[in-house]
Amino acid sequence: MTRGTKKLRILVVDDHELVRRGIRGLLRARRGWTIIGEAANGREAVEKANKLKPDVAIVDISMPDLDGLQATRQIREAGPTTKVVVLTMHESDQMVRRVLEAGALGYILKSDLAMHLVNAVNDVSAGKLFLTPRVSDIVLKGFLKTRDQSDPLENSQARPTPREVEIIRLLAEGKANKKIAAELGITIRTVETHRAKIMLKLGLHSLTELIHYAIRHGIFSTPGVSE
């Protein structure tokens, strides 16, 4: 099936009708994509996601009752197959971190909505991380501002091996251990072992930190960067 023609069931969540209308206009032209529901607050979003089981939920951060971060966590916990794209006006590295830690795969500034939403939905539905070039720049500047002088790459003992770099890249792309094992021709247990050693060696504590590490060191370029 060609790009943009796969079938997708989408839930749209934003407390402003005008924004929801704009999203509908951007997505309805895509063949096979159906907006199966809308919600105006976080609590309603969780309820509809649990009931409708969308493939993708597009979720605003700032909403009444339950904010977008909490809603994203609950949506992902109740339906792990539902992928989340977050919309926000917040331009901060800290917010990007919080969004990824909540389980979202996409992060789009509302000012970039028209340009990037379709690609974001397409990519996250396939399990890929999507950050726009602007958001990627925010992440990189955040790292440059806060990085510790004892950079792991300056320490030869902490330098990842070529195989570890390959696994870091695949993990950052959002691929599961099983898929990585099949792609590299190794066992799932071997992937798990590599992953544990990588986290320990580089002093990382979560997949979000690993993704940030990969972006910072040029191991992984986010899908939004390449046009």
170 shares a domain with 132? no
Residue 147 near residue 130 (C-beta atoms within 8 A): no
Residue 106 near residue 96 (C-beta atoms within 8 A): no
- Please indicate, yes or no, if residue 111 is contained in any of the structural domains: yes
User: What are residue 39's phi and psi, to 5 degrees?
Assistant: -140, 150
- Please indicate, yes or no, if residue 45 is contained in any of the structural domains: yes
- Under-70 pLDDT residues of the chain: 1-5, 142-158, 220-227
Three-state secondary structure readout of 30-59: CCCEEEEEEECCHHHHHHHHHHHCCCEEEE
102 shares a domain with 64? yes
- Please indicate, yes or no, if residue 196 is contained in any of the structural domains: yes
132 shares a domain with 152? no
164 shares a domain with 132? no
Task: Express each pLDDT in 85-109 by its tens digit.
Answer: 999 998 888 888 888 888 899 999 9
In this prediction the pTM is 0.68
35 shares a domain with 53? yes
CATH of the domain at 155: 1.10.10.10
- Count of domains for the chain: 2
Distance CA 26, CA 79 (A): 25
In this prediction, residue 201 carries a pLDDT of 84
Task: Express each pLDDT in 16-49 by its tens digit.
Answer: 999 999 999 999 888 899 999 999 999 999 999 9
In this prediction, residue 1 carries a pLDDT of 42
What residues contact 139, with CB distance under 8 A and at least 6 apart? 93, 96, 131, 212, 215, 216
84 shares a domain with 21? yes
Q: Which domain holds residue 105?
A: 8-137
129 shares a domain with 164? no
Distance CA 120, CA 122 (A): 5
Distance CA 174, CA 100 (A): 11
In this prediction, residue 174 carries a pLDDT of 80
124 shares a domain with 18? yes
79, 109, 137 — which closes off a domain?
A: 137
205 shares a domain with 155? yes
In this prediction, residue 189 carries a pLDDT of 86
104, 137, 170 — which closes off a domain?
A: 137
